[in-house]
Chain A
Amino acid sequence: MAINLKELSKKTVPLSPGHRACAGCGSIITIKLVLMAAEDPIVCVSATGCMEVVTTIYPYTAWRVPFMHNAFENAAATLSGIETAYRSLLGQGKISGKIKFIAFGGDGGTYDIGLQSLSGAMERGHDMLYVCYDNEAYMNTGIQRSSSTPFCAATSTSPVGKASRGKKQYPKDLTKIMVAHRLPYVAQASPHNWQDLMAKTRKALSIEGPKFMNVISSCHRGWRVPMTDSLEVCRLAVESCYWPLFEVEDGAWKLNYRPRQKLPITEWIKGQKRFAHLLKPENQPMVARMQEEVDRRWGELLQLCGEKAG
């Protein structure tokens, strides 16, 4: 499903300019690409988080589509209600036309506090797409660690100092948790590969039932990268196989992109100041552990996708 740039250029972007996201924010690019990929009318719900805040600064809203911001832990539950009401009204002939439903949440609102609500909505099988813009920490409240924060990354609650070397745990594999719900469509994407992200969004919206997309979305404040590098750092996450691009359609795994030459994890972390301590010689064993975990997950994925090891 090729995305045509000419066709896109004629579209009104459903998210208006003038929002207050930082220059170079990866998450706003992700959301814009997802919204632009939609062809039918859409209704959006957003959990509390960076993107909700920056798109709704009083007295303005950047949303050109029906939009609801709810509390932190329940975007998927609120959208469950909206989607079910739509089906009820549709059945009674009180409403007509196709409407698609999209929920957005950051990693805090999806991996952590919103996981129960997301799991419930997916298990019940609502016709909705949930998009997690994963910037790997609570960037909106002061850069605290989340269960998506990478191993060793420095955050305000996993600081780097004498007693602590950043986050102690590996990130939760949320995409796999969603696959375990046996959804018709689950995908992992990145905004640097806009065609892949938009094609996945279109495919997801064309499928009836619950869909989930996990999109890595850099945050220069939290990752401590120059704002000009926001897409480059996402690209390096994919090239180093820290964030592989794949999709799982009705249980069938497919790798969407295989780097010609898998970059070592150091290529991804070296430009990010949240990992600055890992460049010191005494911390090399931790880099090795990180590499080992990336390799393990990558190997597992290759196997699931029926790809050759390596």
Chain B
Amino acid sequence: MTGRLILQGNDAVALGAVKAGLDFFAGYPITPASEILHALVEYPGQVKVLQMEDEIASINACVGAALAGAKAMTATSGPGFSLMQEGIGLGHMVEAPLVIVDVQRVGPSTGMPTFGAQGDLLQCRWGSHGDYFPIVLYPNSVSEIYTQTIHAFNAAEESMSPVVLLTDGCLGHLFETAELVDVPLKTRTARPLGGGSRHFTSLTHAGDHPKATVPSAHQELIAALAAKTAGVAARYAFYEYLPVKGADTLLVAFGAASRAAYHFKGECAIFRPIRIFPMLEELAEIARGYRRVVVIEMNAGQYKLLVEALIHRPVGFIPLLGGAVRVSQIEEGLKKCLQEST
């Protein structure tokens, strides 16, 4: 499907996934992500949908389907994403290509189920135990959700790993005119389960063989996983950079928060990472040209911490908490940041 449509963000995920060749969806009802499940249940054609008994089951069903050769996806929000963490680690260990959509809401716990947030960033990167190197994409409009959903599938197929597509409650339920622009699809080269003897294991392994007690095997495995995703991620280095002549402040924002940050594009430069992880080296490069870098995000300082580590200097920070995204809040925060750094 291409063209212009009035669509909500969650429906754009479903349409993008179908376009990307989705074969299998497993999910569990949760606000504000349920519309993805609803849309796929009613979509005629190739997609098999399972409503599971919880999110643990959903992610594990996707791992199974992915190994069997299907393009698989699940969609959830914060509480469900927390429950999925062990399964996400499993997906990385057995190299299962799949897409996890997290329509973020305010937490911790049940939090504010109907309000958007950006509190799952570090969970995306380090939520499961052990070392893994996920690719995480975060669009900021309904059009971009469609395109990035397709990219997420492509990145999963290329990296043979679970890829997270982040949105938030604001974008998931946002209705706007969307331009559906297609992206060429990547196809998997790995053969599915069923053809000859294969052995998948969540243990440390070398090829088809478990090596759970050999430190060197583990070191090699982790190095290989890191190299593999880094290589693929380089082809998905999506970002938006809006420089302004004479500006000395660079705003860093993504998802719903970046929509509010656009209000300041006349006075400040804006850098919007779409590939949230691995973090974009381009940001380190661009930040060098600015006296001040200010991160605006809907959490208490998750990405800010990482931006500081990336650019090796303190950055200003404007938290947008409790589901509210107001230009006035950013205005006040900016004033404070200016005072602090003069």
Chain A residues near B (Cβ < 8 Å):
48, 69-73, 108, 112-113, 115, 138, 141-142, 144-145, 147, 156-159, 161, 163
- CB-based nearest A residue for B37: A157
- CB-based nearest A residue for B42: A159
Q: Is A115 within 8 A of B29, CB to CB?
A: no
CB distance from A299 to the nearest CB of B (A): 28
- CB-based nearest A residue for B52: A112
Question: When the two chains form the complex, which single residue of A71, A108, A157 contacts B41, counting CB atoms closer than 8 Å?
Answer: A157
Q: How far is the CA of A294 from the CA of B29 in the complex (A)?
A: 28
CB distance from B120 to the nearest CB of A (A): 16
CB distance from B110 to the nearest CB of A (A): 6
Q: Is A141 within 8 A of B83, CB to CB?
A: no
10 tightest A-B contacts by CB? A113-B54, A112-B53, A141-B29, A144-B29, A138-B29, A157-B51, A157-B41, A142-B34, A156-B38, A141-B34
Q: In this assembly, does B283 line the interface, its C-beta being within 8 Å of a C-beta of chain A? A: no
Q: Is B83 within 8 A of A73, CB to CB?
A: yes
Q: In this assembly, does B3 line the interface, its C-beta being within 8 Å of a C-beta of chain A? A: no
Question: In the complex, what residues of B have CB within 8 A of residue A71's CB?
Answer: 79, 109-110
Q: Is A147 within 8 A of B79, CB to CB?
A: no
A144-B34, A159-B42 given as contacts; is B110 within 8 A of A48 (CB)?
yes
Q: In this assembly, does B7 line the interface, its C-beta being within 8 Å of a C-beta of chain A? A: no
Chain B residues 142 to 168 lying within 8 A of chain A, measured CB to CB, are none
Q: In this assembly, does B303 line the interface, its C-beta being within 8 Å of a C-beta of chain A? A: no
Q: How far is the CA of A190 from the CA of B51 in the complex (A)?
A: 28
A115-B53, A138-B29, A141-B30 given as contacts; is B79 within 8 A of A72 (CB)?
yes
Q: How far is the CA of A113 from the CA of B34 in the complex (A)?
A: 16
Q: How far is the CA of A104 from the CA of B222 in the complex (A)?
A: 45
Q: Which of B29, B30, B37, B38 neighbours the largest number of chain A CB atoms within 10 Å of its CB? A: B29
Q: How far is the CA of A26 from the CA of B2 in the complex (A)?
A: 46
Number of interface residues of B (CB under 8 A): 18
CB distance from B282 to the nearest CB of A (A): 39
- CB-based nearest B residue for A111: B53
A141-B30, A144-B29, A157-B38 given as contacts; is B54 within 8 A of A73 (CB)?
yes
0 or 1 for each of B71-115: is its CB under 8 Å from A? (1 = yes): 000000001000100000000000000000000000001100000
Main secondary structure of the interface of A (DSSP, over half): loop
A142-B29, A142-B38, A156-B38 given as contacts; is B110 within 8 A of A147 (CB)?
no
Q: Is A112 within 8 A of B41, CB to CB?
A: no
Q: How far is the CA of A288 from the CA of B184 in the complex (A)?
A: 50
Q: How far is the CA of A31 from the CA of B47 in the complex (A)?
A: 40
CB distance from A165 to the nearest CB of B (A): 14
- CB-based nearest A residue for B33: A141
Q: How far is the CA of A138 from the CA of B30 in the complex (A)?
A: 10
Q: In this assembly, does B44 line the interface, its C-beta being within 8 Å of a C-beta of chain A? A: yes
0 or 1 for each of B249-287: is its CB under 8 Å from A? (1 = yes): 000000000000000000000000000000000000000
Q: How far is the CA of A69 from the CA of B113 in the complex (A)?
A: 14
Q: How far is the CA of A106 from the CA of B261 in the complex (A)?
A: 41
CB distance from A243 to the nearest CB of B (A): 22
Q: How far is the CA of A103 from the CA of B49 in the complex (A)?
A: 32
Chain B residues 13 to 68 lying within 8 A of chain A, measured CB to CB, are 28-31, 34, 37-38, 41-42, 44, 49, 51, 53-54
Question: In the complex, what residues of B have CB within 8 A of residue A113's CB?
Answer: 28, 53-54
Q: How far is the CA of A161 from the CA of B110 in the complex (A)?
A: 34
- CB-based nearest A residue for B32: A141
Q: How far is the CA of A163 from the CA of B41 in the complex (A)?
A: 11
Q: How far is the CA of A72 from the CA of B56 in the complex (A)?
A: 13
Question: When the two chains form the complex, which single residue of A145, A161, A163 contacts B51, counting CB atoms closer than 8 Å?
Answer: A145
Q: How far is the CA of A87 from the CA of B38 in the complex (A)?
A: 45
- CB-based nearest B residue for A48: B110
Instruction: Kindly list 12 other residue pairs between chains A and B, CB separation below 8 angstroms, not including A48-B110, A73-B54, A73-B83.
Output: A69-B110, A70-B109, A71-B110, A112-B53, A141-B29, A141-B31, A156-B34, A156-B38, A157-B29, A157-B37, A157-B51, A161-B42
Q: How far is the CA of A84 from the CA of B31 in the complex (A)?
A: 33
